[in-house]
Amino acid sequence: MTSVVDKTALREKLEQEHAELLLHIGRMEQITEELRSNRGGGDGGISNHMAEGASSTFDQERNLALLENLQRTWEQVESALKRMDDGTYGLCRACGQPIDRARLQALPYAALCLDCQSRLEER
Ligand SMILES: [Zn+2]
């Protein structure tokens, strides 16, 4: 029993993160949408808005990158919750070995053990 991860606490963590990410994603989508419609030049349309336009293009790209990041994390959290349901949570998806407990505590949605993860990052 000593090696068993405290799944209840981790599930709570994951569910909290899941909800927070959804909030963030919703907010980011709204901001991205606003930036997009501003760029369409609805209000004013005077040419000294040029600089502003450029910076909002930058903001839009940065927001999209952030949004993608959030969505990717959210998918990982979601799939970790699914793995909890089907009983494969805590096992490396690549090699099937149990993922280090400390790693799960630091990164509850980790799907790969440290070895497989670093092998993946080396490529
Ligand atoms: Zn592995």
- 3-class secondary structure, 115: helix
How close is the Cα of 94 to the center of ligand 1, in Å?
Answer: 5
How close is the Cα of 34 to the center of ligand 1, in Å?
Answer: 42
- pTM reported for the whole predicted model: 0.76
How close is the Cα of 116 to the center of ligand 1, in Å?
Answer: 4
Q: What is the pLDDT of residues 104-122, one digit of tens each?
A: 999 999 999 999 999 998 8
Q: What is the pLDDT of residues 19-56, one digit of tens each?
A: 999 999 999 999 888 888 876 555 544 445 555 666 77
How close is the Cα of 49 to the center of ligand 1, in Å?
Answer: 52
